[in-house]
Structure 1
Amino acid sequence: MLCKQKSIPLFKAKLKAHPLLNKLIEKDVLKLSPSLCINKLPIQEAQTLLDLHPLLVSQIANDDTCFALVPCGLLERFKAHPLHTELNLKLLVYPKGAVELVSRSTLLCDPAFTYSLNANFNKNLQYRLKYFDEYGISRPKESLLTNLANTSSSTFR
């Protein structure tokens, strides 16, 4: 089943979690809080981050509401950006018949597949920060990164 790609202004996005998604993530433990530092990201970085995370949705309803097939807490953070009206959201629109396939892939297979990659992510980020400095490439402050990650300041040291 092929999906269609679509891009819409973030502020125009009407999102609603798909009823099946709500049931499947009912007992999820999430540690998402509003990222107050999102406004410190330049608009180009915010857009690049949004581009890295297209939202998977089922077919769009008559009133242009998209039914999200994955948890989209990330989007709420971007809506808090002072320039959110300039941001565009990429959508991957799947047909109604693909809801269970997409749910299986995104809620079970993807976390299992990427589990080992994320296990040492804080160490990888420590080294990456070091090399950005070594090569003279500008980078965000560690305080911004820890705020984005919703973690303590000692995580990346």
Structure 2
Amino acid sequence: MAMLLAAGQVAAQDEDEVSEDVFIMGAWADPADCNQQNAQLVSFSTLASDFQTMLGACVAVDGYWSGRALFSSAKAANSDRSNVSRRLRQQRVGLYAQRDAIGEPPDNPTRTTFVGRVGECESQWPGAMMVMGYCHYAGGPILLVSQAIAR
């Protein structure tokens, strides 16, 4: 029998704690530990291309929020199937956040700064039976969000 877990505050360093019978329904970073005051500011292009060297780091990154992802540009965010298209993989970072804290995604791509811990779909929850959200449909870098600041 599988256990259903709405994983809250699951940071990059917690990945070993997930067992095979767990469904990851949501995750985010704790704003007390990772926030605008202690985050390292990184450019979108650096995060998208060099995320593996930053796994677990608390960062702040600016981009265009659309759906379950942050994009390098409004044009990329407005593209067909932008949240899952392979051609946009280097122009997109998946988002995991507590919706009560950041709200729902905007109707149109909106320039937003996100603060959170860097992760990767393929290695974040290696023992999980299923991961819902962005990583269910796409791969690559993700941000476990603690704060969102509209620009």
TM bin (shorter chain): under 0.3
- TM-score, normalised relative to structure 1: 0.23
- TM-score, normalised relative to structure 2: 0.23
Q: Which has the larger radius of gyration?
A: 1
Higher relative strand content: 2
Higher relative helix content: 1
